[in-house]
Amino acid sequence: MVTKYIYGNPVETYAVVEEVPLGETPAHVFLETGNSLTFTHSLGSEDIVYGLGETMRGINKRGHRYISFNYDDPYHKDEMPSMYGSHNFIVVDGETAFGAFFDTPAKVVFDVDSKKNGQLTVTCTSPDLRLYLVEGEGPYDVVRQFLAIIGRSFLPPLWAFGYGQSRWGYKTARDIDRVARKHRDAGIPLDYICMDIDYMDQYRDFTVNCRRFPNFPDFVARHRKEGLHLVPIVDAGIKIEPGDPVFEEGVKEGHFCKNREGREFQAEVWPGLTHFPDFLQKKTRRWFGEQYRFYTDQGIEGFWNDMNEPAIFSTEYRERDAEPDAVRGDPDQPERHIADFKDFFHQLDDGRRMRNYEVHNLYGAMMTRASGQGLDQLLDKRYLLFSRSSYIGAHRYGGMWTGDNASTWKMLRQNVYHMPSLNMCGFLFSGADTGGFGGDTNRELLLRWLAVSAFTPLMRNHASIQTRHQECYRFRKPEDFKTLVSLRYRLLPYLYSEFMKAALRQDMFILPLAFGYPGDRRARRIEDQLLVGESIMIAPVLEPGVRGRSVYLPEPMTQVRYGAGGFTCTEVEAGEQTIEVPQNEVVFYIRQGKLVPVGKAAANTADLALTEVELLGGGTTYEQYIDDGYTKQCGLERCVTRRKGEDALGE
Ligand code: MIG
């Protein structure tokens, strides 16, 4: 059961789309102190607190403090309180299970028993909010009730589930041609290449540098013929550039955020001085969404939106590298940025004018909404879209990636922890920069990372310009990388089907082990094994220099080992087992009574037959979702029943 409580005069966030009954008096204690609202709850000693989407640390958020205030900080330390997105949904798994969604775009502080005295304290810095309380049978039931009210996940096309290669530093058409060719030569499947900011003319959105990318539409079409999509980046800020039609029109039609004096606010980002589109206005979202026509007219069907926290280098009031404005009393955020966000204004559709600081966490989400709604108008098929900044609700228009991680084992583990937490908040289509963004990756780390991201919906290898090249073919024995990427393609009939079923049923795709085995006390505490769809349990190797790991099996399962020679299945008992996992192999498990349809190897998704599958595992039937990979008419009626014994790959 979900109940809504309204405090003050909350801003429209578009997070919840279903009608929810209004409660009379909040069941949980609310203290009003000055201008903020505080929610408190006493946790039992064994209680687990789930949720909070894109935050650091483990799946159980207990013992620490987190702050919803979207922020671009590439040093993902455990202590970092905020990341790029804000997902204000928590689930308490205690004597009773309940969830709470704090629907406010202002800063929220979640103290999840950081003082180890059992106190959960949520402080909303704005007194205007909608609170949704969810009561359920257990944490998974609570999550499903929540997913039911926030609306269906974004449905990407099939090709978006393929492997993607990216790097900040591909500068020319030739650079991209080479990446495509090298993958082909090494036999490594590939579905898309991301184009980072260097494709643009002076870092201006909705432009292509025609010296570095002559005949862009031909370039796009040529790669499409080879089964490759190109995915350009779009940044939030619009360069101040007289003569640029987007800039001119934006000023004339009042689409940009305003400064203290009521003129267009100026901030420096990649293009130099820019204006920020006021995505909180409906007319601006419509206008911005229409701009994507520039790309779709040239054959582009996928995008990533960046710098939309928004990230700022300097502002008209604060020069780059200048001493920060002294804003006291906020130890949790770099002071200069707090000042920046207080210095620009949004015009809300309800007539209010508000500082970005007060509605901060909505900015990236409204950019995603603008792009998604625009692309939906422009294209008659599904598109790929993923954003760096997000808020619950944006999951209906695009996916997200977890920003500038680093090439470390800790970040690989964080990727594992992020996946179920993001799923609980609606973001099914998500993933991390495979191999790590900052710092130099190495062969072992990239191989182990591919073995994890083979199971995450977004599987993109991406790295920063300052780092070593980390395309798979840059390493010794590229055939080992080929094996791991080919596993992804062989699993796609399953992964695509499970993703689509989860999205259509408004369910999770990647779950904590505990959600599948609610009565199992041991499973409840395991965070380095996850459930992927209804049939698969993964237990990835997350440490350097080891030959394998130990795995807990809550029930007897089919162990599947995948390597250069294909799949090998073994029935294994419940309990603990130690497995050896060479770096060029992956071991995963199929749950009791379940099946996994696997296909043939493919060079890309265009080359993949979802219908030609073999069924692995001990179950008898599997409901496989199938469509053409891009239709907008998706529904569960597209599922077909596969029966064990009637499958054949003809190998
Ligand atoms: O200030 O476009 O997270 O993926 O490669 C850095 C360059 C801007 C941050 C993104 C990253 C991207 C990079 N961008």
pTM of the model: 0.97
| Per-residue confidence (pLDDT) for residue 2, from 0 to 100 | 97
**Among candidates 603, 579, 601, which has minimal Cα distance to 589?**
579
| Per-residue confidence (pLDDT) for residue 330, from 0 to 100 | 55
Annotated active-site residue 113? The verdict is no
Reported confidence tier of residue 32, pLDDT bands at 50, 70, 90: low
Cα 168 to middle of ligand 1, angstroms: 7
> Which helix (H) or strand (E) element contains residue 335?
helix 335-342
Question: Quick one: what percent of the chain has pLDDT higher than 70?
Answer: 95
More confident residue, 647 or 39: 39
Distance CA 355, CA 345 (A): 4
pLDDT for 168 beyond 60: yes
User: Taking the CB of residue 108, how many other CB atoms lie within 10 A of it?
Assistant: 24
Cα 233 to middle of ligand 1, angstroms: 9
Distance CA 619, CA 388 (A): 39
Q: What is each CA distance from 598 to 138, 157, 445, 491, in whole angstroms?
A: 32, 19, 26, 5
| Per-residue confidence (pLDDT) for residue 571, from 0 to 100 | 98
Residue 167 Cα: closest atom of ligand 1: 5
Reported confidence tier of residue 325, pLDDT bands at 50, 70, 90: very low
Reported confidence tier of residue 27, pLDDT bands at 50, 70, 90: low
Question: Quick one: what percent of the chain has pLDDT higher than 90?
Answer: 92
Residue 304 Cα: closest atom of ligand 1: 4
Q: What is the pLDDT of residues 336-377, one digit of tens each?
A: 788 899 999 999 999 999 999 999 999 999 999 999 999 999
Using alpha carbons only, give the angle 451, 421, 395 rounded to the nearest 5 degrees: 100
- Mean pLDDT value across residues 194-200: 98
| Per-residue confidence (pLDDT) for residue 337, from 0 to 100 | 81
Nearest CA to ligand 1 atom 12: 168
pLDDT for 327 beyond 60: no
> Which helix (H) or strand (E) element contains residue 552?
strand 548-553
Annotated active-site residue 205? The verdict is no
Using alpha carbons only, give the angle 113, 114, 120 rounded to the nearest 5 degrees: 25
Reported confidence tier of residue 323, pLDDT bands at 50, 70, 90: very low
pLDDT for 587 beyond 90: yes
| Per-residue confidence (pLDDT) for residue 334, from 0 to 100 | 67
| Residue 72: HSE in the Cβ half-sphere, 13 Å Cα cutoff | 15
Alpha-carbon 333 to chain mean position: 23
Give the single-character DSSP code of 184: H
Q: What is the pLDDT of residues 396-416, one digit of tens each?
A: 999 999 999 999 999 999 999
Nearest CA to ligand 1 atom 5: 168
- Mean pLDDT value across residues 137-164: 98
Domain edges within the chain: 2-150
pLDDT for 320 beyond 90: no
CATH code for the part of the protein at 2-150: 2.60.40.1760
| Per-residue confidence (pLDDT) for residue 28, from 0 to 100 | 63
| Per-residue confidence (pLDDT) for residue 338, from 0 to 100 | 86
Distance CA 144, CA 126 (A): 28
Q: What is the pLDDT of residues 201-227, one digit of tens each?
A: 999 999 999 999 999 999 999 999 999
pLDDT for 318 beyond 70: yes
pLDDT for 321 beyond 70: no
User: Does 369 sit in the ligand 1 pocket, CB within 6 Å?
Assistant: no
Reported confidence tier of residue 333, pLDDT bands at 50, 70, 90: low
Catalytic residue among 54, 358, 404, 507, which? Answer: 404
Q: What is the pLDDT of residues 541-557, one digit of tens each?
A: 999 999 999 999 999 99
Cα 177 to middle of ligand 1, angstroms: 21
Reported confidence tier of residue 524, pLDDT bands at 50, 70, 90: very high
Residue 196 Cα: closest atom of ligand 1: 2
- Mean pLDDT value across residues 583-608: 98
**Among candidates 640, 651, 302, which has minimal Cα distance to 493?**
640
pLDDT for 26 beyond 90: no
User: Does 268 sit in the ligand 1 pocket, CB within 6 Å?
Assistant: no
Distance CA 472, CA 286 (A): 40
pLDDT for 328 beyond 50: no
3-state secondary structure of 557: strand
Q: What is the pLDDT of residues 428-449, one digit of tens each?
A: 999 999 999 999 999 999 999 9
Reported confidence tier of residue 332, pLDDT bands at 50, 70, 90: low
Residue 404 Cα: closest atom of ligand 1: 3
pLDDT for 322 beyond 60: no
Contact 339, 332 (CB under 8 A): no
User: Does 197 sit in the ligand 1 pocket, CB within 6 Å?
Assistant: yes
Site to substitute for ligand 1 among 404, 433, 437, 467, most atoms within 8 A of C-beta: 404
Annotated active-site residue 306? The verdict is yes
| Per-residue confidence (pLDDT) for residue 326, from 0 to 100 | 42
3-state secondary structure of 588: strand
